[in-house]
């Protein structure tokens, strides 16, 4: 495959392009106002249309507009009829289909498979504005609206369902989304490169069914199809098994050697004489890359992985090992009489390309047709700035790596600072606070492998697990510089960091932690240890709790030096694969010991293609070689067990005490039921008392004092959403309710 052109290498001059639309049109009236008789491309999305680079359809639409194409958007169409899909007429080039910023099943259902009561990406958070498996439904309706128009599917839903995958909501392995959707092409990962290239080629008259050489694309072909005769197949349709082992001959045996049999049975052809070629390391690597470029890895078929969990785990491991764009090979998987062919992943965007993408003329607001409707997802990001993409953490429960890749793609300082100034000058109701400078991870900005050659040849699943790779640069100085310049912009009062922090990286740079804690924490900092037990953490590919302890030490130290009362809000996952009842109990005891009362807790949801989902479905660990006899991963699947694991995280909630008591008795840990300080839950719901150790913190309770916890009052506090910080009292003294952290922070006097 040829290296792609720069995204903006052939952008026509502004004078020869149509004027930039205030918003990409969503109606015929808007098209008429722009002087359009038709759209070149029509994008269909399951989200409300918000013209901001944090929303995929806006980013893709503005990028294509910059290439000179007329782009329209159909947002959240009524899928029960074909007419809404004809609202903008027939597209000249193709349909672009996406479920939105989230997988539609994750968006619509809770971890317990219950329909959610709201949708953050919909005006007024109204639910049920998108169908289940939205990519499939939208593709089918678009095809019905105007047969013969090419259909291209993309976004995270299509990206994570590009091969046979376990679907939690139907509890079965489903075929690639290409089959049900009938899309002509699927673009996975960051779509800009492939989308610009395929649009140029379709506009030039090329048939989409002949476009088979673009990175980051998947499509259906007849079984056994190959691009040309130079390609070879690496067969990975079965797990590795030992070959035949011949018995060693007894050196003391006196049996007569049968030379005739040896001459006939063991005769070998004359060896072919080949010259010895001495190659440098660089030459060997180049030769290997060239060979990989023309090699496709055949995964076990859909028919095999849908019935054999071990083979599913094997296929998952092979798939993830072929994720580095520097050395990944194409993949192919048979589905009946056809194959799903996946080209190598897309190459990361260069910094100037990222800058140009984010510098496009976004309106930075919801489409006017929504009026004054409240759209929660917009409210969340309207004052935030995305500074990077990708994540090299490789957490098994997360799909960011599978979608955006492990190589960090960063914007330049000037581009980021320009966007902050744009928010200051143009965003309605801006009060001077930027709510986030981040991305998938807050502190991976401009971090990369120290050697490009090593990066291109690496096949590790994570750069930071089990330890931080010695080849990974962990210098946070560029991020510190960005923070300082951002908060120095006139009119900017505060820069907060709202993205998740990789704390095992942060502790490598105490200067960064000091900068963060001193200037960029608004009282609370979210952090995600996820668990305390090593067995579970190893299945998550997360660092041990010692890294959290080290970060907390630095956090507390610099908070005190800054004269601020600030708290860490930890996030944990219940019922993750590899997590036993004992693991969750130990986590609950750790939470109680550290006086954490978690308000919101997360139960593991198996999402398509994640490695933890593979563990959940197959019971095998794809982080190591998979065989019939390889490690079995214990997983909480029953509703009763998942409920117990979640209850452990909210051990203080009276509504969970009955579930926890039953679980403790079943586990033989009834010794933790009672009203003493060493107990996890009280013996009964009424008149329960708990004793805490005196830590001499503000508002603390003298040693040995017994505090009565009224269950109804505790339940009301939980309904109010109060959080309890580390080192705060286990319960408020009688007659005096302790305010929540949030209330305390809001009441702080302004300086």
SS (H, E, C) 329-395: CEEEEEECCEEEEECCCCCCCCHHHHHHHHCCCCCCEECHHHCCCCCHHHHHHCCEEECEECCCCCC
Among 551, 550, 531, 527, smallest CA distance to 540 is for: 531
Q: Which two tokens stand for residue 586?
A: 């130990």
Alpha-carbon distance of 161 to 183, in angstroms, equals 13
Alpha-carbon distance of 27 to 370, in angstroms, equals 13
> CA-CA distances (angstroms) from residue 411 to 352, 378, 480?
7, 22, 15
Q: Which DSSP category does 301 fall into?
A: P
List the alpha helices (DSSP H) in 490-533: 503-506, 510-519
> Which residue carries 């009119």 as its tokens?
491
Q: Which two tokens stand for residue 322?
A: 């072929």
> Which residue carries 């998987």 as its tokens?
333
Alpha-carbon distance of 352 to 341, in angstroms, equals 31
Q: Per the annotation, does 391 bind a ligand?
A: yes
pLDDT tens sequence across 103-140:
999 999 999 999 999 999 999 999 999 999 999 999 99
Alpha-carbon distance of 344 to 324, in angstroms, equals 9
Angle at alpha carbon of residue 145, lines to 142 and 147, rounded to 5°: 85
pLDDT at 628: 93
pLDDT at 269: 62
Low-confidence residues in the chain, pLDDT < 70: 1-4, 13-18, 240-274, 686-751
Q: Are 236 and 301 in contact (CB under 8 A)?
A: no
Do the bridges between strand 217-222 and strand 185-187 make them parallel or antiparallel, or are there none, so unpaired?
Answer: antiparallel
> CA-CA distances (angstroms) from residue 562 to 41, 538, 555?
53, 36, 11
pLDDT at 254: 58
pLDDT at 239: 82
> CA-CA distances (angstroms) from residue 177 to 142, 152, 164, 183, 355?
15, 12, 8, 8, 32
Q: Per the annotation, does 463 bind a ligand?
A: no
Q: Are 388 and 460 in contact (CB under 8 A)?
A: no
Q: Are 504 and 444 in contact (CB under 8 A)?
A: no
Q: Are 648 and 585 in contact (CB under 8 A)?
A: yes
> CA-CA distances (angstroms) from residue 559 to 321, 428, 480, 518, 552?
41, 33, 17, 7, 10
Q: Per the annotation, does 395 bind a ligand?
A: yes
List the alpha helices (DSSP H) in 594-723: 611-618, 639-649, 654-666, 711-719
Among 488, 382, 391, smallest CA distance to 442 is for: 391
Q: Which DSSP category does 178 fall into?
A: H
pLDDT at 540: 98
Do the bridges between strand 232-235 and strand 295-299 make them parallel or antiparallel, or are there none, so unpaired?
Answer: parallel
pLDDT tens sequence across 254-310:
555 555 555 544 555 666 666 777 888 777 777 777 788 899 999 999 999 999 999
Q: Are 396 and 615 in contact (CB under 8 A)?
A: yes
Q: Are 727 and 697 in contact (CB under 8 A)?
A: yes
Contact partners, residue 644, CB within 8 Å, separation at least 6: 581, 584, 659, 660, 663
List the alpha helices (DSSP H) in 501-621: 503-506, 510-519, 534-540, 545-561, 581-593, 611-618
Contact partners, residue 506, CB within 8 Å, separation at least 6: 443, 476, 512, 513, 516, 551, 554
> CA-CA distances (angstroms) from residue 313 to 118, 159, 536?
34, 19, 18
Helix (H) or strand (E) holding 235: strand 232-235
């Amino acid at each position: 495959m040829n290296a792609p052109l720069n995204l903006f290498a052939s952008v026509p001059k502004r004078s020869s392009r149509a004027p930039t639309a205030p918003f990409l049109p969503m109606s015929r009236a808007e098209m008429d106002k722009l002087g359009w008789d038709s759209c070149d491309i029509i994008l269909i999305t399951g989200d409300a249309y918000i013209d901001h680079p944090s929303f995929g359809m806006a980013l893709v639409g503005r990028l294509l507009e910059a290439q000179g194409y007329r782009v329209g958007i159909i947002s959240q169409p009524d899928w029960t009829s074909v007419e809404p899909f004809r609202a903008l007429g027939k597209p000249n080039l193709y349909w672009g289909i996406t479920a939105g910023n989230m997988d539609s099943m994750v968006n619509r259902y809770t971890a317990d498979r219950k329909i959610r009561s709201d949708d953050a990406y919909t005006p007024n958070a109204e639910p049920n504005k998108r169908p289940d498996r939205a990519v499939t439904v939208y593709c089918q309706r678009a095809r019905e609206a105007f047969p013969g128009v090419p259909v291209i599917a993309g976004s995270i839903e299509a990206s994570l369902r590009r091969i046979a995958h376990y679907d939690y909501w139907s509890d079965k392995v489903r075929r690639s989304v290409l089959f049900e959707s009938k899309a002509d092409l699927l673009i996975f990962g960051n779509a800009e490169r492939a989308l610009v290239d395929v649009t140029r080629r379709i506009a030039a008259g090329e048939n989409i069914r002949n476009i088979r050489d673009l990175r980051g694309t998947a499509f259906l072909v007849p079984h056994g199809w190959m691009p040309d005769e130079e390609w070879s197949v690496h067969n990975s349709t079965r797990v590795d098994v030992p070959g035949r082992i011949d018995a060693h001959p007894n050196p003391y045996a006196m049996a007569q050697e049968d030379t005739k049999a040896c001459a006939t049975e063991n005769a070998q052809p004359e060896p072919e004489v080949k010259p010895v070629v001495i190659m440098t390391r660089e030459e060997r690597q180049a030769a290997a890359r060239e060979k990989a470029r023309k090699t496709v890895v055949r995964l076990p078929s859909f028919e095999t992985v849908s019935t054999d969990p071990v083979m599913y785990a094997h296929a998952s491991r092979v798939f993830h090992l072929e994720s580095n764009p520097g050395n990944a090979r194409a993949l192919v998987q048979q589905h009946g009489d056809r194959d799903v062919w996946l080209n190598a992943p897309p190459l990361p965007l260069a910094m100037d390309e990222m800058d140009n993408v984010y510098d496009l003329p976004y309106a930075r607001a919801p489409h006017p047709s929504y009026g004054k409707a409240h759209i929660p997802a917009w409210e969340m990001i309207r004052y935030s700035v995305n500074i990077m993409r990708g994540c090299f953490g490789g957490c098994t429960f997360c799909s960011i790596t599978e979608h955006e890749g492990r190589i960090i793609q960063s914007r330049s300082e000037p581009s980021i600072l320009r966007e902050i100034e744009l928010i200051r000058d143009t965003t309605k109701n801006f009060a001077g606070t930027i709510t986030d400078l981040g991305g998938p991870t807050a502190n991976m900005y401009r971090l990369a492998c120290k050697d490009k050659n090593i990066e291109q040849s690496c096949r590790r699943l994570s750069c930071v697990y089990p330890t931080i790779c010695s080849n990974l640069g962990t210098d946070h100085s560029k991020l510190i510089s960005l923070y300082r310049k951002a908060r120095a912009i006139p009119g900017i009062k505060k820069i907060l960091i709202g993205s998740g922090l990789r704390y095992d990286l942060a502790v490598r740079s105490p200067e960064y932690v000091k900068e963060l804690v001193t200037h960029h924490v608004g009282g609370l900092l979210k952090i995600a240890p996820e668990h305390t037990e090593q067995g579970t953490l190893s299945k998550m590919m997360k660092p041990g709790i010692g890294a959290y302890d080290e970060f907390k030490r630095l956090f507390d130290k610099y908070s005190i030096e800054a004269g601020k009362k600030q708290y860490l809000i930890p996030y944990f996952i219940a019922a993750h694969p590899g997590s036993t009842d004992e693991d969750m109990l130990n986590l609950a005891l750790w939470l109680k010991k550290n006086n954490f009362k978690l308000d919101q807790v997360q139960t593991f949801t198996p999402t398509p293609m994640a490695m933890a989902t593979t563990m959940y479905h197959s019971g095998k660990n794809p982080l190591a070689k998979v065989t019939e006899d390889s490690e079995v991963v214990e997983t909480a699947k029953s509703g009763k067990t998942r409920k117990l694991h979640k209850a452990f995280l909210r051990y203080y909630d009276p509504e969970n005490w009955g579930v926890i008591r039953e679980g403790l008795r079943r586990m033989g840990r009834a010794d933790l039921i009672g009203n003493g300080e060493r107990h996890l839950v009280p013996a009964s719901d009424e008149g329960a008392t708990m004793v805490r150790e005196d830590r001499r913190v503000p508002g603390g309770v003298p040693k040995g004092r017994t505090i009565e916890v009224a269950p109804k009052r505790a339940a009301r506090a939980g309904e109010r959403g109060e959080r309890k910080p580390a080192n705060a009292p286990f319960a408020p003294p009688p007659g005096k309710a302790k305010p929540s952290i949030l209330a305390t922070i809001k009441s702080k006097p302004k300086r």
